[in-house]
């Protein structure tokens, strides 16, 4: 089988600096989180605790991503509703002016018709509900008044919808803040544990990351074709990001979390997919067998669907794996994360 090695990162100097040591790379400010393998239940000590904290941060990250996506949509909806309400208010003001002209003409020609007095009152609905009053209006007046009433109702509905969306947005922003705080707390605890390690233990962690990076560079992917052109194109885009750092909540182009990488890659080929791994798990065509996957298929990992990457061929996944790591190829069997299913786009 042909061997495919990862392309050089866009900024070799930048990524070289990031690999100085895994301990330094994992010195995540509250900005770094990831999908880390499930810890081995037989493992003891600090490393197992760090693994668990990273896993918890990953789950919180995907929930944060979902809330962020919802907030973005709500903000757009609120903006659209407010702009529509402003236009309707302008139309309503124009119509009110036209009705005023009719009233002025009536007054000059012999006094203001009682019906027009009602028309220009604060409750035109009451006027329209009075059938006898309609007989006093000419056709033009009736049409104008009905339009006025309709636009008033539309405006009230738009404002009500905008208020409801604003309330939803407020709740979502509160959720965002809570998830952000949870992620930062998990990562801070992990960092504290890392800081408690001896120099020898930190060096071992750094060596482990270096071995993973070297293994990624030597990954043999085979030459199997993708199932669809869009999957092949998105996979090629993702390959260009190998070597860039994982940052929680990031969607590229210089850093990614797991679902940020997959959504960014499809976006490069004008294909829109959901932001979170859980949502991505329910799009496209489901592939239940690992052996049936083709390069470029999405691969959903963990029972809570909190991790996603690209199937790279020959049993490899291309993904953004964890804090302190970089986008890389990795053996699915050795990832420590259970395979759930694949998604073909």
> Last residue of a domain, which of 180, 197, 214?
197
Q: Number of folded domains in the chain? A: 2
Catalytic residue (choose from 6, 63, 179, 319): 319
* Overall average pLDDT of the 17-38 stretch: 37
Report long-range pairs for 158-165 (Cβ below 8 Å, ≥24 apart): 158/81, 158/84, 158/85, 158/88, 159/85, 161/81, 162/78, 162/81, 162/82, 162/85, 165/74, 165/77, 165/78, 165/81
Top-ranked range on mean pLDDT: pick from 154-168, 187-201, 225-239: 225-239
**Does the pLDDT at position 37 exceed 70?**
no
> Last residue of a domain, which of 197, 214, 235?
197
Residues 136, 274, single domain; the answer is: no
**Does the pLDDT at position 329 exceed 80?**
yes
**Does the pLDDT at position 235 exceed 90?**
yes
Whether 139 is in a domain gets the answer yes
For 110, other C-beta atoms within 10 Å of its C-beta total: 7
138 Cβ contact partners less than 8 Å away, ≥ 6 residues apart: none
pLDDT in tens, 65-123: 999 999 998 988 888 888 888 887 877 777 777 766 666 655 554 555 555 555 556 56
> Considering only CA atoms, which of 263, 288, 266 is closest in space to residue 278?
263
Lowest mean per-residue pLDDT among 47-56, 177-186, 247-256: 47-56
Concerning whether 4 is annotated as a catalytic residue, the answer is no
Concerning whether 307 is annotated as a catalytic residue, the answer is yes
Q: In what order do the strands lie in the sheet with 298-301?
A: 285-287, 339-344, 298-301, 307-313, 316-319, 328-331
For the chain, the distance separating the N- and C-terminal CA atoms, rounded to the nearest angstrom, is: 25
Residues 345, 237, single domain; the answer is: yes
In the predicted model, what is the mean pLDDT of the chain? 80
Confidence (pLDDT) at 97: 74
Confidence (pLDDT) at 119: 55
pLDDT in tens, 126-167: 555 544 444 555 566 667 777 777 778 878 888 888 888 888
Residues 191, 53, single domain; the answer is: yes
> Last residue of a domain, which of 197, 232, 251?
197
Tell me the residue range of the domain where 125 lies: 41-197
Catalytic residue (choose from 307, 322, 326, 328): 307
249 vs 276: CA distance, rounded Å: 10
Whether 23 is in a domain gets the answer no
319 vs 299: CA distance, rounded Å: 10
CATH number of the domain within which 286 lies: 3.90.1720.10
310 vs 219: CA distance, rounded Å: 14
Q: How far is CA 9 from CA 190, 201, 268, 330, in A?
A: 28, 29, 17, 17
pLDDT tier for residue 52 given thresholds of 50, 70 and 90: confident
pLDDT tier for residue 330 given thresholds of 50, 70 and 90: very high
Whether 174 is in a domain gets the answer yes
Catalytic residue (choose from 258, 281, 340, 345): 258
Confidence (pLDDT) at 89: 81
Whether 33 is in a domain gets the answer no
Share of the chain above pLDDT 70, in %: 74
What pTM, to 2 d.p., does this model score?
Answer: 0.66
Residues 139, 251, single domain; the answer is: no
Concerning whether 258 is annotated as a catalytic residue, the answer is yes
Q: At which residue do the structure tokens 């998830």 appear? A: 179
CATH number of the domain within which 137 lies: 1.10.287
180 vs 182: CA distance, rounded Å: 5
């Amino acid at each position: 089988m042909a061997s495919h090695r990862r392309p050089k990162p866009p900024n070799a100097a930048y990524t070289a600096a990031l690999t100085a040591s895994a301990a330094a790379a994992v010195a995540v400010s509250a900005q770094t989180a990831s999908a880390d393998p499930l810890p081995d239940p037989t493992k003891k000590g600090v490393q197992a605790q760090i693994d668990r904290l990273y896993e918890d941060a990953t789950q919180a990250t995907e929930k944060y991503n979902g809330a962020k996506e919802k907030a973005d949509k709500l903000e757009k909806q609120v903006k659209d509703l407010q702009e529509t309400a402003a236009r309707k208010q302008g139309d309503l003001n124009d119509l009110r002016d036209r009705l005023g002209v009719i009233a002025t003409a009536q007054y000059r020609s012999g006094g203001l018709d009682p019906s027009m007095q009602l028309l220009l009152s604060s409750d035109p609905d009451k006027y329209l509900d009075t059938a006898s009053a309609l007989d006093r209006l000419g056709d033009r007046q009736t049409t104008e008044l009905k339009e006025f009433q309709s636009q008033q109702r539309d405006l009230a509905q738009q404002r009500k919808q905008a208020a409801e969306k604003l309330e939803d947005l407020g709740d979502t922003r509160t959720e965002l803040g809570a998830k952000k705080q949870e992620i930062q707390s998990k990562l801070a605890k992990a960092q504290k544990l890392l800081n408690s390690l001896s120099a020898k233990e930190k060096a071992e962690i750094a060596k482990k990351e270096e071995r993973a990076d070297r293994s990624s560079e030597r990954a043999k992917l085979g030459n199997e074709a993708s199932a669809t052109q869009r999957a092949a194109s998105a996979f090629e885009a993702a390959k260009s990001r190998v070597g860039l750092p994982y940052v929680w909540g990031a969607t590229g182009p210089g850093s990614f979390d797991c679902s940020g990488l997959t959504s960014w890659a499809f976006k490069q080929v004008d294909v829109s997919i959901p932001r979170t791994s859980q949502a991505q798990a329910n799009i496209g065509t489901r592939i239940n067998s690992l052996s049936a996957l083709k390069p470029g298929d999405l691969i959903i990992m963990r029972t809570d669907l909190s991790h996603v990457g690209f199937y790279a061929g020959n049993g490899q996944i291309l993904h953004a794996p964890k804090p302190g790591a970089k986008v890389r190829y990795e053996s699915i069997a050795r990832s420590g994360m259970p395979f759930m299913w694949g998604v073909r786009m």
